[in-house]
Chains A and B, each alone.
Chain A
Amino acid sequence: MAEIVSLAEGVGRLVHDGDVVALEGFTHLIPHAAGQEIIRQRRRDLTLVRMTPDIVYDQLIGAGCARKLIFSWGGNPGVGSLHRFRDAVQNGWPVPLEIEEHSHAGMANRYVAGASGLPFAVLRGYSGTDLPKHTDTIKQITCPFTGEQLAAVPALNPDVSIIHAQRADRAGNVQIWGLVGVQKEAVLAAKRSLVTVEEVVDELEPVPGQLVLPSWAVTCVAEVPHGAHPSYAQGYYDRDNAYYEHWDSIGRKRDSFEDWLREKVFDRTDSEVTGK
């Protein structure tokens, strides 16, 4: 059964140096607060996994938490580049970043295989592209029934997956609705999981199109209101588009980024983080 913990405790207990860590949320419900808590706890040598590394991964990479990134699209959606990510790839700052690059279809299927307890997934993908030349986790496979050539990609089984959801009940059952991305697969593929939620409630009132992760499929739940900001939580708050624009000016330079880190992340105390 999922245990209800504070954000600091959840990250402290579940995320270790050197872990393979996935923070998922496809444009919606991105676990920003949890990402910043990983930075604040100064985790190192992480292999970060995410289909769409956007500003939360720019922050983790710029803070030097990651040694490797497994991804399929890295940018500031609707704005432009991730400058910390680019600085790490092009200049090795603050630490070199190894990359393992896929397409969305490949990444989605890697999570599906991980969640399904399979060693790999099969898809029609990558054929003719330059990706297999640089990514050794893309192979060709022959269909044993038709002889067709298909792509194979290995399962992703993160040490810990972290997602943000709208609600959980006191038993730790998690309720998500709206764009659900690849979050269910990420949680089910992982050895451990942390779900941050907008609120913990007595009873989960049904919502059309909802997805429920039962308490026994989740390791820890932490109540973190606004934990997806500047992305959004349908039913709670809208996307803060201005912040995404604003991030461009913070992330662009090393010193403005370091000022941000100090002010908004490291100078925060445990009690500020948990809001208690």
Chain B
Amino acid sequence: MTATTEAQQTYTSDEMMSIAAARALGDGQRCFVGIGLPSTAANLARRTHAPDLVLIYESGTLGSKPDRLPASIGDGILAETADAVISVPEVFNYWLQPGRIDVGFLGAAQLDKFGNINTTVIGDDYANPKVRLPGAGGAPEIAASCREVFVVVRQSKRSFVDRVDFVTSVGHGSGKGDRERLGLRGAGPTLVITDLGILRPDPETSELVLSQLHEGVEVEQVREATGWDLKVSPDLSRTAPPSEAELATLRALKEAGK
């Protein structure tokens, strides 16, 4: 018994990130879920505090209720457990575009201080990229049209840059007021959850500032993993460590998804 308890009380920074991201989702919200880290967090939320969270995947499922982590956005389990299965044009035109979705949950290869996301190319030259990434997928319109956007991404100097090499999906553009000017109707990224803490846009400037630190992480560590001069919120708080129930549920979901 002791061994089990101890095993559950040690956790990885990735587990902390997934759990912190899951906690951000409210019960009953409608959430457009990207694969990978966002999908892990959204499924964890549905299995813990948010049983009525509505999971929407761009492959065409509304209200998926998988009992394990899906391997891809097209995993059969998402369709088999959905309230409705719809075509891809319908996902984007009828459900996303009119603003029916509360939270867009995205990952990023590169993220900048205004929450703009790059999943297209690394390097300045689009025609001759240093690294060719997968591209946009559904993200540009998810970032534009959901009422708000949560980004979940591991924090490092490589991924957290002053300016993204390519704006695949708009966060807060080049600062406050840009989203309105561009005609983007959702609020954009309101939370960025990482393996070190949580960043939120400053209400005055829309620049991402550190607002929460995970247990055992220091401010200096987060600054070192950030490619811009990271500001710290005066109301900096600490993330509560994972509960036993959260950890057990997360591990069971991952194990079942193998």
Contacts and interface: CB of A to CB of B under 8 A. Distances in A.
Interface of A: 26-28, 51-52, 71-75, 77-78, 81-82, 85-86, 89-90, 101-105, 108-109, 111-112, 123-131, 133-134, 148-149, 178-182, 184-185, 209, 231-232, 234, 238-239, 241
B184 A77 contact: no
Contacts of A127: 144, 170, 182-184
A128 B182 contact: yes
Interface string B153-170: 000000000000011111
Given A28-B74, A102-B136, A238-B76, A129 B87 contact: no
B85 A180 contact: yes
B75 interface: yes
Contacts of B92: 104-105, 108-109, 123
A129 B168 CA distance: 5
B39 to A, nearest CB: 10
Given A105-B140, A182-B87, A26 B74 contact: yes
Contact of B183 (A89, A123, A148, A184): A148
Contacts of A123: 92-93, 97, 141
A182 B135 CA distance: 19
Given A28-B76, A103-B140, A129-B140, 18 more contacts: A27-B73, A72-B136, A73-B136, A73-B137, A73-B138, A77-B35, A90-B129, A103-B138, A108-B89, A124-B141, A128-B173, A128-B178, A130-B166, A179-B74, A180-B87, A182-B88, A239-B74, A239-B76
A266 B91 CA distance: 39
Contact of A182 (B89, B120, B184): B89
Contacts of A129: 136, 140, 167-170
Nearest to A237: B76
B120 A130 contact: yes
B132 interface: yes
A74 B76 contact: no
B59 A105 contact: no
Contacts of A239: 71-72, 74-76
A238 B87 CA distance: 20
Contacts of A78: 35, 71-72
A108 B170 contact: no
Contacts, number: 166
Rank and list the top 8 A-B pairs by shortest CB-CB distance, nearest first.
Answer: A27-B74, A75-B134, A73-B137, A128-B170, A77-B72, A105-B92, A128-B182, A108-B89
Contacts of A26: 59-60, 74, 88
Interface in B108-161: 120, 126, 128-129, 131-141, 144-145
Interface centre among B35, B85, B145, B169 (most CB of A within 10 A): B85
Of B85, B134, B167, chain A has the most CB atoms within 10 Å of the CB of B134
Contacts of A234: 76, 79-80
7 contacts: A26-B88, A27-B73, A104-B92, A105-B92, A129-B136, A181-B59, A239-B76
Contacts of B168: 129-131
B61 A179 contact: yes
